[in-house]
Amino acid sequence: MIRIGIFGAAGYTGGELIRLLLNHPEAEIAFAHSESNAGNLVSDVHEGLVGETSLCFTDLISFEAVDVVFFCFGHGKSAAFLQEHSIPEGVKIIDLAQDFRIAGAHDFIYGLPETHREQIATAQHLANPGCFATCIQLAVLPALKAGIIAGDIHINGITGSTGAGQKPGATTHFSWRNDNISVYKTFNHQHLLEINQTVHELQPEYDGRLFFIPQRGCFSRGIFVTAYAQCTTPLEDIQQIYTDYYCDAAFTHVVRKSPDLKQVTGTNKAVVYVERHEDQLLMICCIDNLLKGAVGQAVQNMNLMFGLDENTGLRLKATAF
């Protein structure tokens, strides 16, 4: 059994991670860390887990009791935590924040399985991709890798309210979010940094720009991305490029019918679709932001890091109705 410690376990990602790991046949949760909820039942905070676990939150840390730790902190807190704590070399780290996604003076591997599977399998420290970054990359990378896109890529993405985290805010309050839509961080969303990093790793010759308009949606979970760019390659060839690119992907599926969000909500799947309009290639991808966009992908990466089948513990049904 893989012994697991979870930090930041009281938030949305922490709760989803606990839910997945409780049903993972090769996983055992050693501790769920939360200073503010220490001593409380996990199911008192994550009420969807009532009857599934008697685990309590703790403010104690025992690295000796675990094989891997998940950081479900807010952005910036993972790096600070590592400065304050010495984690044994034998303990693997999977960070869900953005602290180590950009290559630099650290040994964290970027954890997008569709592009970095071999590196992930031997990683000791892993930076889980961002939710928008995952969805956008899965939509555009096959076309970029094949060199069939010319010029800039224009991207629109809409995300559910859980993408903003559990802490209440002006734009996450139900009365504001319900029956509403808005844009934010236009053209400068932080996930563009990791997307551009992967783009130039796979296709160094690409000299276009990515223009991204993120939107807040009136739903709880999921991300739906549409992107378009100039392309003159025949549609049948494009579809074959995408099918070949994802032929070994455990959770990314290329479809021939325009998808909808309910196909992926509640799962670790990504559904990808392409079509051509004159000289423009339309690329669509949808995922669940909390699963393929966060903890589902993190568990997928854990499976790879410990030599398990990627699907282990992740065969989940979409909430299509």
Alpha-carbon gap, residue 291 to 296, rounded angstroms: 4
Select from 3.40.50.720, 1.10.357.10, 3.30.360.10, 3.50.30.30 the CATH code of 131-289. Answer: 3.30.360.10
Alpha-carbon gap, residue 31 to 12, rounded angstroms: 17
Class of domain 2-129+292-305: alpha beta
Return contacts of 303-310, CB within 8 angstroms, 24+ apart. Answer: 304/113, 304/117, 304/120, 304/121, 305/68, 305/92, 305/94, 305/120, 305/121, 305/123, 305/126, 306/2, 306/26, 306/67, 306/68, 307/121, 308/26, 310/113, 310/250, 310/251
Alpha-carbon gap, residue 247 to 293, rounded angstroms: 20
Terminal alpha carbon distance of the chain: 35
> Which of 72, 13, 46 has its CA nearest to residue 291?
13
- Is residue 211 helix, strand or coil? strand
User: In this structure, which amino acid lies at residue 27?
Assistant: A
Alpha-carbon gap, residue 111 to 273, rounded angstroms: 23
Domain-wise residue ranges, the chain: 2-129+292-305, 131-289
Give the pLDDT of residue 276: 96
Per-residue tokens: 284: 């669509």
Per-residue tokens: 212: 């991204």
Question: Which sign, positive or negative, has the C-alpha torsion 94, 97, 101, 107?
Answer: negative
Give the pLDDT of residue 297: 98
Q: How many CB atoms lie within 10 A of CB 54?
A: 8
> Which of 305, 292, 264, 309 has its CA nearest to residue 25?
309
Among 56, 72, 131, 135, the one annotated catalytic: 131
User: Tens-of-pLDDT digits for all 321 residues of the chain?
Assistant: 999 999 999 998 999 999 999 999 999 999 999 999 999 999 999 999 999 999 999 999 999 999 999 999 988 899 999 999 999 999 999 999 999 999 998 999 999 999 999 999 999 999 999 999 999 999 999 999 999 999 999 999 999 987 655 566 666 666 677 889 999 999 989 999 999 999 999 999 999 999 999 999 999 899 999 999 999 999 999 999 999 999 999 999 999 999 999 999 999 999 999 999 999 999 999 999 999 999 999 999 999 999 999 999 999 999 877
Alpha-carbon gap, residue 44 to 54, rounded angstroms: 10
- Reduced DSSP (H G I as helix, E B as strand, rest coil) percent helix, strand, coil of the chain, to 5: 30, 25, 45
Per-residue tokens: 47: 């009420």
Alpha-carbon gap, residue 235 to 256, rounded angstroms: 11
Give the pLDDT of residue 320: 76
Confirm whether 2-129+292-305 and 131-289 share one CATH topology. no
Single pTM value for the model: 0.94
Q: Is 131 a known active-site residue?
A: yes
